Amino acid sequence: MHLKIRHRTEYRYETPVRYSIQELRLSPPTTAGQEIERWKISTPIKASNSIDTFNNVCSVFVQEASYTSMMIEAEGEVLTHDAYEYIDDSKAVSPYYLLQQTNLTEPSEGMLDYFATSLPKKNSIDEVLKLAAAVQQSIEYSPGQTNFATTAAQSFAMKRGVCQDHAHIMLSLCRAAQIPARYVSGYFFAEESPNLASHAWIDFCSDIEKGVWISVDITHACLIDARHIRLAIGRDYYSAAPVKGVRTGGGGEELTANISIQQLS
């Protein structure tokens, strides 16, 4: 597919923000399954780019002049095709590091008991897809019930969540089964479901020695395909978030995010 993506994030504040630092992971890589035709990120002031621990492009900008609104926009074109297997040649982060739980993925005893019969006995595609189906069937997709700080255990307790929560629960269970797994932030093209444009899924390591990772979409209980565009990877949402930052001042915050994905051919 030839996809055109436009991602606009706008913040408005009750009172002037006096100082802020924003960290963006909005640069999709050219990798298995996708080739970046063109991509541009527009920020209020020039950002500096670096490569983070997970090999993501990280853009950072600091605003020292006061403001009451801020706009960040990423826009470009991506060529995609079906590919769910990735060879991590860089091996920037050891798969063993991705066996560790985080605050967002730490499982509850009830969660482990509930999914005990679905936990993979080995890191094969069939077994991990079986677990993905169990998570999808157990956790109702329900926007507005959770937020960026909701943990896997909290989402499980509610039996509700969105793609981010599905991914966190899946990461939690894979790691409990001693399968290295990482969070993937990205986009999903579905004309009939524009609310899924901002998406998240997981990679699990199927061969530690060779650095082979398999991508699984928990919300759809399937391997990823040409509809998926990856942005960044991390231990959980926090380390792969498209936009995050800290500020001084501003009072209450109103966030508006709009993502449009159009198929060009």
Secondary structure of 139-164 in HEC code, one letter for each residue: CEECCCCCCCCCCHHHHHHHCEECHH
Residue 156's pLDDT band, with cuts at 50, 70 and 90, is very high
**Chain segment 192-218, per-residue pLDDT in tens:** 776 678 999 999 999 988 889 999 999
pLDDT(30) > 70: yes
- What are the residue ranges of helices labelled H in 193-249? 237-240
Give which of 244, 246, 254, 243 is closest to 15, Cα–Cα. 254
Cα distances (Å, whole numbers) of residue 190 to 33, 39, 199, 202, 225: 17, 21, 11, 19, 12
Q: Which domains does the chain have, with CATH numbers?
A: 2-80+243-263 (2.60.40.2250), 85-240 (3.10.620.30)
pLDDT(133) > 70: yes
pLDDT(90) > 90: no
DSSP 107: P
Strand 181-188 and strand 228-234: pairing? antiparallel
Specify whether the CB–CB gap between 14 and 66 falls below 8 A: no
- What is the pLDDT of the chain when averaged over all its residues? 93
pLDDT(65) > 70: yes
pTM: 0.93
In the chain, % of residues over pLDDT 90: 82
Residue 190's pLDDT band, with cuts at 50, 70 and 90, is confident
Token pair of 208 as six digits: 């530690």
Residue 144's pLDDT band, with cuts at 50, 70 and 90, is confident
